[in-house]
Amino acid sequence: MTAQEVATAVPPEASDSFPADRRLEAYRTMVLARSLDDRCIALQRQGRIGFYAPHAGQEAALLGSAYALAPDDWVFPAYRELVVALVRGASLQSVVDQLFADSGDLTKGRQMPNHFAFRAQHFVSASSPIGTQIPQAVGAAMAARSRQAPIATIAYFGDGATSSNDFHAGMNFAGVFRAPTIFFCQNNGWAISLPRDRQTRSPTLAGKADAYGFPGVVVDGNDVGAVYTAVRRARRRAVAGEGPTLIEAQVYRFGPHSTSDDPRRYRADSEVESARLRDPVHRLKTELLSAHLLDEAGDAKIWEEARGTIQGAVTAAEAAAPVGPLSFFDDVYASLTPRLAEERAGAAAQVPAEARRP
Amino acid sequence: MTAQEVATAVPPEASDSFPADRRLEAYRTMVLARSLDDRCIALQRQGRIGFYAPHAGQEAALLGSAYALAPDDWVFPAYRELVVALVRGASLQSVVDQLFADSGDLTKGRQMPNHFAFRAQHFVSASSPIGTQIPQAVGAAMAARSRQAPIATIAYFGDGATSSNDFHAGMNFAGVFRAPTIFFCQNNGWAISLPRDRQTRSPTLAGKADAYGFPGVVVDGNDVGAVYTAVRRARRRAVAGEGPTLIEAQVYRFGPHSTSDDPRRYRADSEVESARLRDPVHRLKTELLSAHLLDEAGDAKIWEEARGTIQGAVTAAEAAAPVGPLSFFDDVYASLTPRLAEERAGAAAQVPAEARRP
Amino acid sequence: MTELTLVQAVNRALFDAMRSDPDVLLLGEDVGVNGGVFRATDGLLKEFGAERVIDTPLSETGIVGAAVGMALYGLKPVAEIQFLDFIYPAFDQIVSELAKMRYRSGGQFPCHVVVRAPYGGGIKGGLYHSQSTEAYFCHTAGLKVVVPSTPADAKGLLLSAIRDEDPVIFLEPKRLYRSATGEVPDGDPAVPLGRARVVREGTDVSLIAYGAMIPPTLEAAATLGTEGVSAEVLDLRTLVPLDEKSVVASVEKTGRAVAVHEAARFCGFGAEIAALLAEKAFYSLKAPIGRVTGYDTPFPYALEQLYLPDAPRIAAAARAAMTAG
Amino acid sequence: MTELTLVQAVNRALFDAMRSDPDVLLLGEDVGVNGGVFRATDGLLKEFGAERVIDTPLSETGIVGAAVGMALYGLKPVAEIQFLDFIYPAFDQIVSELAKMRYRSGGQFPCHVVVRAPYGGGIKGGLYHSQSTEAYFCHTAGLKVVVPSTPADAKGLLLSAIRDEDPVIFLEPKRLYRSATGEVPDGDPAVPLGRARVVREGTDVSLIAYGAMIPPTLEAAATLGTEGVSAEVLDLRTLVPLDEKSVVASVEKTGRAVAVHEAARFCGFGAEIAALLAEKAFYSLKAPIGRVTGYDTPFPYALEQLYLPDAPRIAAAARAAMTAG
Ligand SMILES: Cc1ncc(C[n+]2csc(CCOP(=O)(O)OP(=O)(O)O)c2C)c(N)n1
Ligand SMILES: Cc1ncc(C[n+]2csc(CCOP(=O)(O)OP(=O)(O)O)c2C)c(N)n1
Ligand SMILES: [Mg+2]
Ligand SMILES: [Mg+2]
């Protein structure tokens, strides 16, 4: 039985289909996500935030997977998953506060934009090193199982991350220990300037699961319903004790790798244009239009609302107080060590008076 | 086309078969190897050498692969490959000197026994960290190709090493760059106390090659001819620019992991006994007997000769001078740095007079 | 009180910690069925089962990565790295993830993992079974680093490490695993992190050491005593957070200091000791600060006894401090 | 002479090295088609082709592991790590293999690889695009460690590093990539490894720094000058092998020393400087040795300007040294 066949062997259930009554809500979230992306790139260009890593082109994969999870599941993100946090209940304001690194930022201004952490949503702290979240998701899954919690963990990562040490270690541990983990690879065609085909000669990324003895499936990442179904089934397998699944969601990164990147150096505009024909936002809109759940006027309103909501959050973030000037000494350890207390006192003496105001 | 099929698609050639006129020589070497193993374990038990990692059970895989290589090929060993060095022309004396870490040791007494390096034989310095030689073999292969040298590199490693970071990195680079590398995995069933089935859920280790887009083959590692053929074909593929091959030679480790190990803690004697029924030395002997290339009297003589040769090398090693007492400051860099020169001078003042004698 | 070897004391601490807290679990290579290559985990699989004593595949990245995930979820994993020399495949997980998780999440995700690893030379282990690279971890904010030198400390400090809220790198002097024996309290002899111990009081020179260097340092102190030099021996026990006060206080008293470790000298822990004293005990110093350390070479095999600091080298450095100036 | 930025000087050095020696080749992530995320390798693919300018998969283990193999075979690979913060997946290959290959083989297998990596803060990179962990490499026998601070040194030292016979970790101060400009000799301006440079002479206090800390250190020296304090500024340039003589000579002259780096303080390179001086310049010292460094926290994002040593902090430490005692 190949990996593909194993996955197909999980019997389908009605609950595997994306709930019809949430499609409009999903579209709203998708529009919010896309609008936020556009706005954040502009904010970065204007020097109002320091950095941004866009997710445009990956919204269906992000939303489809996020909707398929249960609240108690744990999410181990990379850096393009802010939509997942929103679906899980993180507020738009807290997301925007992280981008602005202001006093509303739950990560206390310590990380670059896009490196979120939302404890209440079981959305684990993101880091920059590629792939490190993968074995962590496996460990958390093993821990949950040992506590008899009927949950799954999900690790998000890109095509580039499949080359990382941590992918190999995490996948192998998951196979050996049959961890209830969903490996969700967003293959967006590029790892900065390296195209997928130069990343690995594996015919598909999903096929790499064979090497670890569990199923891998390819899914059209522009199809929110297809992604939802794939993740639901992987989740059922996981919770039923049948072990992990690797899902390769095939998407395309429309924008630059990040605001520091100039994609014209390594790919043709025409490639982007043809990928845009499969734009997941447009696709869901078309589906909703033909199902008469949406009309153009309603659509325009959704976009307008999204922009308004974002504007509100941005305005609030810009009005928010900065993080406290000595707050960067906190949380290194559970409590300040004597050495840090001394360093902090020294720094306090140096911090210019104006910065010390709250 | 699966990996298995790709490999099978390399057309067989007459030169792929183990040369009939070298079978007796191979047997002699195998007997030497087995005898050396027994002797070294005894030497360690007597406290005459510090450590030993036996290869008993793996001789056919080692010899079959070594004979299949060309002199200009480069070998990246783990720590059970001393037979490979012998086949490539390293002297038994230099092997034994390494085990004794005496002044004849080409590694200058710096490494534990079994960590050989033989420049003249393109037998690269072995280290203890598992798997690190694997991407190195790939880099050397890329370098050789860029110099138009028609050679292959071979990386030796165990079943346990397939879990290492370096296996993943090396295999992936080899696939992407179509490096002329042979990945030779000796699956001896165990990584210290961890059985193969707990190392990974991959049905075979050879199958892991699929994840990197090149062929993997399983071969009976007790059959010197079968191993020879598999390596010859992989080598032809490599030199022809068709890229790497992963070979899984299925063997069994008869002895302890090393002289520090007590295998009875984790495996039943009965498992060892049944594996011994497939003893590669016995198997080649039986083949030679039935081909009338050997009789029992001749066999006894081969064993006796082997023991004599080994005794000679051991005697010489025990008579050899120790390494110079300050030699451990050399070769950190191409030349002594000022700091090392100072440390060396300080140490010279401390070394007890008797140690300073050459 | 029971007389135990150091490795037995480690084993007892693991038994005690696992008995008293169901969230504690172990993972590593050969820790289960085999009981650990040094037998530190002997008997644990039998008592606690395979869900809590986990034999892992050969991947330190996986061991520490999974341990981090377990800790995030709320368990208290104790990861074993078979030899400190093999920790580097896990280095990224340790320095990028484990050390920084609490910080980068603004305190939302504490991540308490204990990473145990046998370290150091003296067992004829050559380059890769002898290393002592504690300085890498000490330089990494977010980690605590602990090195016991006696069976009682091994048990007490390991219990404290497991109960601490922060990630701890727990380095066990393998050379002392069987050679160091001593009385170990039976109950719950937690020894607090962050406190050095004066092993021997003295007034002329402070010998500052830890782990496997304590026995030769004590031997040197004894020799010095016969020469009329009163050497104080400090066992740091915890390298991070360092008990700076005790170190400074000792040197304020003696005026002379020698730092001892088996790691290479350049940028080793002894440099931090010297820097600390050159800043905070400067006016008490009567002599240059000595360092007796491994040399700046990889760890050799045949000549390890010349590489490793021993009592004569330590005593010589103390004498140099006494006669300096 | 040409006026270049520091990153352009790196680029020129790579061009020159590759033109003059066909064995030199580059590998790393995004170094080819993209020309490097900082454009350090811009134009090289076009001139030298894909066999010599190799875009690799996302694996630092693979990059350094393959580079080691290439070097063993006889080539001279220059491996780029995109940010020093991402070097840890290659840590095992660097410390276990690259650093020890020549040694462990008894000199049979020299292994000359240059690993280039942009390091340091000041670009709002947060925890993972700002690190300065040179101490890890300095503590690893077998590696050389080089940090330029000017365009001319960047070119000259990189050429020397590529021509050296030993493995070199070459750390480029990314904060100065574009902000530091200067005249760079055109021909072959090799700057020898192992020699510090007196950037500014002085008699009262020695400020010992390297890399991106040179500009704020010079600024502090200028301020001190206006206050009548004559500060000498030493740019170490090579951390291993360290030019101990120049460091000691400077402090023998001034009697006061402040070590400056942006890495965390505890067990940072400044500790080695202090230890060196506390041993070899002890009798010249008139004041406690100061260290102005990053704090012992991970590198923060919003508040990086408070984390990073700046001219006021450096000047304050120098003043403290002047008034001590
Ligand atoms: C270990 C490591 N090496 C290099 C980098 C620099 N880097 C950041 S993102 C990236 C590409 C990631 O590609 P992929 O995994 O496909 O994710 P995507 O950005 O396409 O979502 C690289 C090389 C890093 N962050 N971590
Ligand atoms: C990175 C690393 N981790 C752990 C070890 C300890 N160790 C030495 S050999 C070994 C098992 C290796 O198994 P395998 O690759 O199957 O080779 P075999 O010994 O069976 O030939 C282990 C875990 C090591 N040497 N390196
Ligand atoms: Mg990608
Ligand atoms: Mg094995």
Q: What is the CATH number of the domain that holds B15?
A: 3.40.50.970
pLDDT digit string (tens) for A295-333?
A: 999 999 999 999 999 999 999 999 999 999 999 999 999
- Partners of chain A (3+ Cβ pairs below 8 A): B, C, D
What value does the mean pLDDT of chain D take? 97
How much is the pLDDT for C3? 96
Question: Strands (DSSP E) along C81-180, which ranges?
Answer: 114-119, 144-146, 168-173
Shared-domain flag, residues A68 and A143: yes
How much is the pLDDT for B259? 96
Domain of residue B342: give its range. 325-358
Domain count, chain A: 2
pLDDT digit string (tens) for B142-198?
A: 999 999 999 999 999 999 999 999 999 999 999 999 999 999 999 999 999 999 999
How much is the pLDDT for B10? 65
Could C108 and A173 be called an inter-chain contact, meaning their C-beta atoms sit closer than 8 Å? no
If residue A242 lies in a helix (H) or strand (E), which one and from where to where?
none
Which residue has its alpha carbon closest to ligand 1 atom 26?
A129
Beta-strand pair D168-173/D144-146: parallel
In angstroms, the CA A104 to CA A85 distance is: 16
Contact C71, C112 (CB under 8 A): yes
User: Taking CA A77 as the corner, what is the angle to CA A71 and CA A81, rounded to the nearest 5 degrees?
Assistant: 85
Pick the atom of ligand 1 nearest to A58's CA.
Answer: 21
Pick the atom of ligand 2 nearest to C88's CA.
Answer: 1
Least confidently predicted of B59-63, C182-186, C235-239, D310-314: C182-186
pLDDT at B1 over 50: no
- For residue B262, how far is its CA from the centre of ligand 4 (angstroms)? 15
C-beta atoms surrounding A106 within 10 Å: 19
In angstroms, the CA A174 to CA A157 distance is: 16
pTM attached to this predicted model = 0.98
- Which of A80, A192, A208, A251 to mutate to test ligand 1, by most ligand atoms within 8 A of the CB atom? A192
Residues 6+ apart with CB under 8 A from A134: A76, A155, A157, A161, A164, A166, A167, A169, A170, A171, A183, C65
Confidence of residue B356 (pLDDT cuts 50, 70, 90): low
Shared-domain flag, residues B135 and B224: yes
- For residue A162, how far is its CA from the centre of ligand 1 (angstroms)? 10
Compute the nearest-CA separation of C96 from chain D (Å): 8
Which regions in chain A score pLDDT beneath 50? 1-6, 358
Could A193 and D59 be called an inter-chain contact, meaning their C-beta atoms sit closer than 8 Å? no
- Fill in the amino acid letter for D16: D
pLDDT at B5 over 60: no
Shared-domain flag, residues A209 and A313: yes
Compute the nearest-CA separation of B238 from chain D (Å): 17
Q: Which ligand minimizes its atom distance to the CA of A188?
A: 3
Confidence of residue C47 (pLDDT cuts 50, 70, 90): very high
Shared-domain flag, residues B185 and B230: yes
Strand order through the sheet with D290-294: D197-200, D231-235, D205-209, D257-264, D290-294
How much is the pLDDT for B183? 99
Q: Where are the domains of chain D?
A: 2-184, 197-323
Burial of A4 (C-beta count, 10 Å sphere; 0-12/13-18/19+): middle
Which residue has its alpha carbon closest to ligand 2 atom 12?
B191
Question: Strands (DSSP E) along chain C, which ranges?
Answer: 2-5, 24-28, 53-55, 76-80, 114-119, 144-146, 168-173, 181-184, 197-200, 205-209, 231-235, 238-240, 257-264, 290-294
Ligand 2 pocket list (CB less than 6 A): B 80, 128-130, 157-161, 188, 190-192, 253, 257; C 29, 58, 60, 82, 86, 89
Which regions in chain D score pLDDT beneath 70? none
Compute the nearest-CA separation of B253 from chain A (Å): 22
Shared-domain flag, residues A189 and A318: yes
pLDDT at B21 over 50: yes
Eight-class DSSP state of A322? B
Could D289 and C279 be called an inter-chain contact, meaning their C-beta atoms sit closer than 8 Å? yes
- For residue A209, how far is its CA from the centre of ligand 3 (angstroms)? 18
C-beta atoms surrounding B44 within 10 Å: 20
How much is the pLDDT for A5? 47
* Start-end of H helices in A101-222: 133-146, 165-177, 196-199
The rounded percent of chain B whose pLDDT value lies above 90 is 93
Confidence of residue B307 (pLDDT cuts 50, 70, 90): very high
What would be the CATH architecture of the domain defined by C197-323?
3-Layer(aba) Sandwich (3.40)
Shared-domain flag, residues B173 and B269: yes
Shared-domain flag, residues A283 and A172: yes
Contact D104, C127 (CB under 8 A): yes
User: C-alpha distances in angstroms, D251 versus B2, D225, D273, D311?
Assistant: 69, 18, 11, 20
The crossing angle, in degrees rounded to 10, of helices B23-45 and B92-100 is 20
Write b or e for each residue in C77-96: b if 16 or more Cβ atoms lie within 10 A of its Cβ, otherwise e.
bbbbbbbbbbbbbbbbbbbb
Confidence of residue B2 (pLDDT cuts 50, 70, 90): very low
What would be the CATH architecture of the domain defined by D2-184?
3-Layer(aba) Sandwich (3.40)
Residue of B nearest to C300 (CA): B110
Confidence of residue B6 (pLDDT cuts 50, 70, 90): very low
Shared-domain flag, residues A255 and A345: no
Could A143 and C75 be called an inter-chain contact, meaning their C-beta atoms sit closer than 8 Å? yes
In angstroms, the CA A49 to CA A41 distance is: 9
Q: Which residues surround ligand 4, an ion (CB under 5 A)?
A: B 158-159, 188, 191
In angstroms, the CA B83 to CA B41 distance is: 16
* A55 carries an active-site annotation: no
If residue B299 lies in a helix (H) or strand (E), which one and from where to where?
helix B296-319
Strand order through the sheet with B74-76: B74-76, B153-158, B181-187, B245-250, B216-220
Is C197-323 the same fold as C2-184?
A: yes
- For D261, half-sphere exposure in the C-beta direction (CA atoms, 13 angstrom radius) is 26
Shared-domain flag, residues B230 and B337: no
The rounded percent of chain B whose pLDDT value lies above 70 is 95
Token pair in block for residue D284: 């010249």
pLDDT digit string (tens) for C269-299?
A: 999 999 999 999 999 999 999 999 999 999 9
Token pair in block for residue A82: 């802010």
- Tell me which of D236, D262, D267 to substitute to probe the interface with C (most C C-beta atoms closer than 10 Å): D267
Compute the nearest-CA separation of A257 from chain D (Å): 11
How much is the pLDDT for B265? 97
What value does the mean pLDDT of chain B take? 95
Catalytic residue among A198, A264, A266, A276: A266
Confidence of residue B12 (pLDDT cuts 50, 70, 90): confident
Could B213 and A198 be called an inter-chain contact, meaning their C-beta atoms sit closer than 8 Å? no
Shared-domain flag, residues A346 and A312: no
C-beta atoms surrounding B166 within 10 Å: 30
How much is the pLDDT for B13? 83
Identify the three-state secondary structure at position A153.
Answer: strand
Burial of D15 (C-beta count, 10 Å sphere; 0-12/13-18/19+): middle
